[in-house]
Amino acid sequence: MRPKLKLLQAWRWATMPAMAAALCAAPPAFSEAIQRDFATIGNPTLILHIHSGAISVTGWDQNRVDIQGERASADGMDLLIEGNAEKVSIETHPKRQNLTRDEARVDLTIRVPRQALVRVESEQGSITVEGVEGGVTVEGATNSVALTRIRGHVTARTVDGPIVIRSSEGVVQADSISGDLQFVEVNASQLTGTTNSGAIRYQGDFGMGGTYKLHSYSSPIEVQASPRASFDVDARSIQGAIENRISLPSAAPATTTMQQRRTGRSVQGRVNTGKSTVQITSYSGTIRLSGGR
Amino acid sequence: MNCTEFEREWQELDDPSLFSPPMEDHMRNCARCAALVREMNLLRWEARQLAEQEQPPARLWANIRSELSREGLVQEAGARSRLLDALSFGWLPRLPMGVAYASVFFLALVGVEHIRDRVSPPQAPSVAQSPAPPEIALEQTRAAAEPAREEETVIQRVIEKAPPEKRQIYLTRWNQLNNSSDVLRSFVAAHPDDRQAILQLSEIQDQQRRFLESVMRWELEEF
């Protein structure tokens, strides 16, 4: 019995410094729950100006803006939420310099009337917007941006982060310096996707009889047209290659026949009846075309 | 949206950087308004830098005062002239910071309006601003083929002031855009009739401008 007790005491003394160190190293988290609700008109404006964190905005069929979330550190970040029937704004500002990414984090899950106009500015973290029809503008630095079922004007811009737009319609503008752009089932009266070194991928119908422009400087552009897609295509890579797997039997009105230069850097032609116009250009990236009929 | 409507909406914004989608559209198609916004962002950023700067050393004002006194342009202490009072800027620190900012903004606004009126004739308000036709866009791109030295200087200064963790990202991406722009500019110089290459150069220059605007705004708003 006695040796056992001694062993226990020794173990207790041995573990005590370790426990004290652990307590000092990891002080209790001062995270704070956020919960606000505003009665609004049917098409209010939501403005988010967030330093860092996961942001999710979803359209719903109620004239209310509902805000739920968590602020990782009340000591680190100021949080300002203001609202009235027409406009709700949320801003975060660092209280001091040299905050860690986690200290600066404010996660938000927001529901807005479907016709709301949403504008998000953030520097780090994920941004998702879904089911909004009043227009969406997202501007980020290293954020990943995902926009789903959006209608109206859509503008998304990042420095490094990827942008994914799915099942959306309207006037779409996506722009990143090194982030990838992905368009899945996006039908636009006007769509522009521009990157410098991020890959661009379009999968879908090229619907609405719109004009689609995809530009990259050095990165690949991949187009996977659905069988019902109808468009005139003009693709050119100045220094890169083109890998075309789309059958282009008929020429677009402005061109002669499918032109494939000897260097394989240019393709023009018509798919189905050529309802939409697709212009793809890259300086040194590879352009890959596939799908269609 | 035409230029007049754009300016009216811009003035009504609580935050001058929060453009509505129609305003964004207009800026994409109107070089004049886009330039105006850039100019204003730059002035806001400059104003902030100005506010952060220390006052000039007292000896500078003392030297100016003694020089003016020697020239007989001002009277010595005890009967300070208005000119000297104005030059001493002693009133500036006494003003609340908000009023100082407002003064800088007002002066800047007057300056921008003055420059704009001199550079371009006033536009008829009822005429909608239409996207520049390709030929004009080509001409504009050709005209902008020389590197924008002023923008280069501005972005370097903004990047230098940015926090260290962001400085590297900004610098890398700015250099990346510059390199791309240089390569395309060389290509266009060798192939001046290549419309697609010229338009692609135009895209990169637009990206440079957007990047400059974003970085200035982020640093202005202390992101």
In a shared domain, residues A196 and A254: yes
In a shared domain, residues B18 and B54: yes
Taking every pair of C-alpha atoms in chain A, what is the biggest distance, in angstroms?
99
B window 60-119, beta carbon within 8 A of A: none
> Which residues in chain A have their CB less than 8 angstroms from residue B220's CB?
none
In a shared domain, residues B157 and B122: no
- 3-class secondary structure, A18: helix
* Site from B207, B210, B217, B221 to mutate, A interface, most A CB atoms within 10 angstroms: B207
What is the reported pLDDT for B169? 86
φ, ψ dihedrals at A19, nearest 5° = -65, -40
Final residue of a domain: which of B92, B111, B131?
B131
Print the domain residue range for A44.
27-131
Final residue of a domain: which of A110, A131, A152?
A131
Nearest residue of chain B to residue A87 (CA atoms):
B14
A140 belongs to a structural domain:
no
Contact A137 B21 (CB under 8 A): yes
Mean pLDDT score, A178-205: 97
Final residue of a domain: which of A85, A111, A131?
A131
Question: How many angstroms separate the CA atoms of B15 and A91, rounded?
Answer: 12
Q: Closest to B207 (Cβ–Cβ): which among A123, A135, A175?
A: A175
In a shared domain, residues B120 and B42: yes
Nearest residue of chain A to residue B207 (CA atoms):
A177
Tokens 């208005």 -> residue: B82
φ, ψ dihedrals at A214, nearest 5° = -120, 120
In a shared domain, residues B38 and B8: yes
Residue B143's contacts (CB-CB under 8 Å, 6 or more residues apart) are none
Residue B106's contacts (CB-CB under 8 Å, 6 or more residues apart) are none
Final residue of a domain: which of B106, B131, B156?
B131
Q: CB of B196 within 8 A of CB of A236? A: yes
- How far from chain centre, in Å, is Cα A241? 28
- How far from chain centre, in Å, is Cα B151? 9
Question: How many angstroms separate the CA atoms of A2 and B53, rounded?
Answer: 73
Contact A281 B200 (CB under 8 A): yes
A12 belongs to a structural domain:
no
What is the reported pLDDT for A280? 96
* Site from A121, A214, A266, A278 to mutate, B interface, most B CB atoms within 10 angstroms: A121
A151 belongs to a structural domain:
no
HEC letters along chain B = CCHHHHHHHHHHCCCCCCCCHHHHHHHHHCHHHHHHHHHHHHHHHHHHHHHHCCCCCHHHHHHHHHHHHHCCCCCCCCCCCHHHHHHHCCHHHHCCHHHHHHHHHHHHHHHHHHHHHHHCCCCCCCCCCCCCCHHHHHHHHHHCCCCCHHHHHHHHHHHHHCCHHHHHHHHHHHHHHHHHHHHHHHHHHHCCCCHHHHHHHHHHHHHHHHHHHHHHHHHHCCC
What is the reported pLDDT for A59? 98
Question: How many angstroms separate the CA atoms of B223 and A157, rounded?
Answer: 16
Question: How many angstroms separate the CA atoms of B202 and B181, rounded?
Answer: 9
Residue B82's contacts (CB-CB under 8 Å, 6 or more residues apart) are none
A147 belongs to a structural domain:
no
Q: Closest to A217 (Cβ–Cβ): which among B28, B204, B214?
A: B204
DSSP class of residue A238?
Answer: S
Question: How many angstroms separate the CA atoms of B88 and A56, rounded?
Answer: 53
Contact A155 B223 (CB under 8 A): no
Q: Closest to B24 (Cβ–Cβ): which among A137, A177, A215?
A: A137
A149 belongs to a structural domain:
no
Cβ-count burial of A49 within 10 angstroms (0-12 exposed, 13-18 middle, 19+ buried)? buried
Q: Closest to A238 (Cβ–Cβ): which among B24, B187, B206?
A: B187
Which amino acid appears at position B188 of this protein? V
**Predicted confidence (pLDDT) at residue A5 exceeds the cutoff of 70:** no
Print the domain residue range for B97.
1-131
What is the reported pLDDT for B142? 53
A6 belongs to a structural domain:
no
**What total number of domains does chain A contain?**
2
Q: CB of A206 within 8 A of CB of B164? A: no
In a shared domain, residues A112 and A233: no
For the whole model, what pTM was predicted?
0.71
Show the low-confidence residues of chain B (pLDDT under 50): 77-95, 115-133, 145-147, 223
Burial B163-195 (b: 16+ CB within 10 A, else e): eeebeebbeebbebbeebbebbbebbeeeeeee
In a shared domain, residues B136 and B70: no
What is the reported pLDDT for B90? 42
Residue A118: which of B7, B20, B16, B14 has the closest Cα?
A: B20
State both tokens at B211: 């990047």
Q: Given 3-state DSSP classes, what are the helix, strand and coil percentages for chain A, each rounded to the nearest 5?
A: 10, 55, 40
Q: What is the pLDDT of residues A227-241, one digit of tens each?
A: 999 999 999 999 999
> Which residues in chain A have their CB less than 8 angstroms from residue B158's CB?
none
What is the reported pLDDT for A171? 96
Interface ipTM: 0.79
In a shared domain, residues A166 and A287: yes
Nearest residue of chain B to residue A123 (CA atoms):
B223
Judged by a CB distance cut-off of 8 A, whether residue B22 touches chain A is yes
Contact A155 B24 (CB under 8 A): yes
Residue A132: which of A208, A190, A48, A213 has the closest Cα?
A: A48
- 3-class secondary structure, A266: strand
In a shared domain, residues B168 and B221: yes
φ, ψ dihedrals at B75, nearest 5° = -90, 160
Task: Tell me which of A175-184, A216-225, B36-45, B214-223 is least confident.
Answer: B214-223
Final residue of a domain: which of A83, A109, A131?
A131
**What total number of domains does chain B contain?**
2
Question: Nearest CA to CA, how far is B223 from chain A (Å)?
Answer: 6
In a shared domain, residues A279 and A222: yes
Contact B196 A236 (CB under 8 A): yes
In a shared domain, residues B16 and B86: yes
In a shared domain, residues B198 and B117: no
In a shared domain, residues B100 and B160: no
Question: How many angstroms separate the CA atoms of B216 and B92, rounded?
Answer: 25
**Predicted confidence (pLDDT) at residue A29 exceeds the cutoff of 60:** no
Question: How many angstroms separate the CA atoms of A224 and A246, rounded?
Answer: 9
A178 belongs to a structural domain:
yes
Distances in Å between the alpha carbon of A62 and those of A38, A66, A113, B58? 11, 10, 6, 62
A5 belongs to a structural domain:
no
Nearest residue of chain B to residue A48 (CA atoms):
B18
Residue B203: which of A193, A94, A247 has the closest Cα?
A: A193
Question: Nearest CA to CA, how far is A9 from chain B (Å)?
Answer: 48
Q: Using alpha carbons only, what angle is made at residue A193 by residues A190 and A196, rounded to the nearest 5 degrees?
A: 155
CB pairs under 8 A between A and B: 82
Contact B24 A51 (CB under 8 A): no
Residue B163: which of A123, A269, A143, A131 has the closest Cα?
A: A123
In a shared domain, residues B4 and B83: yes
In a shared domain, residues B149 and B74: no
In a shared domain, residues A186 and A259: yes
**Predicted confidence (pLDDT) at residue A116 exceeds the cutoff of 50:** yes
> Which residues in chain A have their CB less than 8 angstroms from residue B183's CB?
283
DSSP class of residue A196?
Answer: S
Question: How many angstroms separate the CA atoms of A243 and A230, rounded?
Answer: 20
In a shared domain, residues B105 and B47: yes
Final residue of a domain: which of B102, B131, B160?
B131
What is the reported pLDDT for B168? 86
In a shared domain, residues A106 and A170: no
**Predicted confidence (pLDDT) at residue A27 exceeds the cutoff of 80:** no
Judged by a CB distance cut-off of 8 A, whether residue B197 touches chain A is yes
What is the reported pLDDT for A157? 95
Judged by a CB distance cut-off of 8 A, whether residue B131 touches chain A is no
Contact A175 B218 (CB under 8 A): no
In a shared domain, residues A183 and A286: yes
